[in-house]
Copies of this chain bind each other. A is one copy, B any other.
Amino acid sequence: MTVRVGVIGAGMIGQDHIRRLTEVVTGATVTAVTDIDAERAAEVAARVGATALPTGTDLIDSPVVDAVLVTSWGPTHAEHVLNAVAAGKPVFCEKPLATSAEDCLRVVEAERAHGRRLVQVGFMRRFDAGYRQMKEVITAGGIGTPLIVHCAHRNPTVPEAYTSRMAAQDTAVHEIDVLRWLLDDEIVSAQVVTPRATSKRFAHLKDPQIMYFETAGGVRVDLEVFVNCQYGYDIQCETVGEDGLVRLPDPAAVGVRAAGRHGTAVQQDWKGRFVDAFDTEFREWIASVEAAVEPTGPSAWDGYAATVITDAAVRSLDSGGAVVTVDMKPRPALYGGTA
């Protein structure tokens, strides 16, 4: 009854998910671990009583592994996922599904050939209680047909290694996924413009950036990405419809009146902000594996779409702000499309 998970990639994220599968989520056990650093794999595996295996292939093929979790370096994701699909095993792949649209498509094609969804991609916002409430309000007609979405994604600071393109690839990609799901609509164009840059960032970085998206249905989205906003980790989303609007709440926090101010603390990192979403994401994934049903989370197609849209945003950024059309293939029937 317990799902035996093999983990490929035992870095920071991998270890956090191992902790989650071991200490937070019931019904799962981590039985195998592999990592490019064999010593690290051995150490992490030992901690939870799992076996350290030399390669991803070994792990995927292992008889003690019912389901695979891919948290290795991004460029290796596609290969591991393809191998898992080939082995017919459910696989949870941390974002990105692959580092190129082509590789994402290879996964989509493989899964399609398999005939059944095996892949879930790690976009956790869909599991956040606030976004879920927002989707319920929209679906129930509480604001009428959506027309506009205003978003902001702010981090206190980022390290020097964070590049201008990562604003789309690593940061905005979360909104890209959750917006497609919230609106049940496809993004067809992307544009990135750059306001005056904050002086509080490394010189190479364009920060903040503003991204504009348009959907097939004509919804317009503006998304502020500001990764050196200093004051905190702050996620905002407001969907405006024909009859009203719905807005994501700030996390509940005690209000304090002191020293002439009424105030609440702003969260400082995404881990705190989305801890419950991560837990729910894995709880529901494990439940789907245990029930031997297709996962309900973001699909390989969603992983592909996020990559294609992100690519368009990057091209816009590189071009100095052109509106870039998203060049997406027709959606296969496996993912609710007609192709």
Contact = CB atoms under 8 A, between A and B. Distances in A.
Interface of A: 22-27, 129-130, 133-134, 137, 142-145, 147-148, 150, 152, 193, 195-200, 208, 210, 212, 214, 217-220, 222, 224, 226, 229-232, 234, 240, 242-266, 268, 276
Contacts of A23: 26-27
Given A23-B26, A137-B254, 15 more contacts: A23-B27, A133-B254, A143-B256, A145-B199, A148-B208, A150-B152, A196-B219, A229-B245, A231-B259, A243-B259, A244-B257, A246-B255, A250-B252, A261-B261, A262-B265
A17 to B, nearest CB: 14
13 contacts: A137-B256, A142-B256, A144-B198, A145-B198, A148-B226, A150-B152, A196-B219, A231-B257, A231-B260, A244-B258, A250-B262, A260-B265, A261-B263
Contacts of A261: 231, 261, 263-266
Contacts of A220: 193, 195, 210
Contact of A258 (B25, B243, B257, B264): B243
Contact of A254 (B217, B246, B276): B246
A249 B254 contact: yes
A208 B239 CA distance: 13
B143 A258 contact: yes
B208 A240 contact: yes
The complex is assembled from copies of this chain, and their number is 4
A227 B277 CA distance: 33
Contact of A218 (B195, B214, B247, B265): B195
A255 B249 contact: yes
A257 B242 contact: no
A256 B230 contact: no
A242 B228 CA distance: 8
A106 B27 CA distance: 39
A232 B257 contact: yes
A39 to B, nearest CB: 25
A33 to B, nearest CB: 18
Contacts of A129: 252
A240 B24 CA distance: 36
A201 to B, nearest CB: 9
Contacts of A152: 150, 240
A230 B249 contact: no
A245 B256 contact: yes
Residue of A22, A26, A222, A262 with most partner-chain B CB within 10 A: A262
A260 B232 contact: yes
A241 to B, nearest CB: 8
B243 A247 contact: no
A217 B240 contact: no
Contacts of A263: 261-264
A226 B252 contact: no
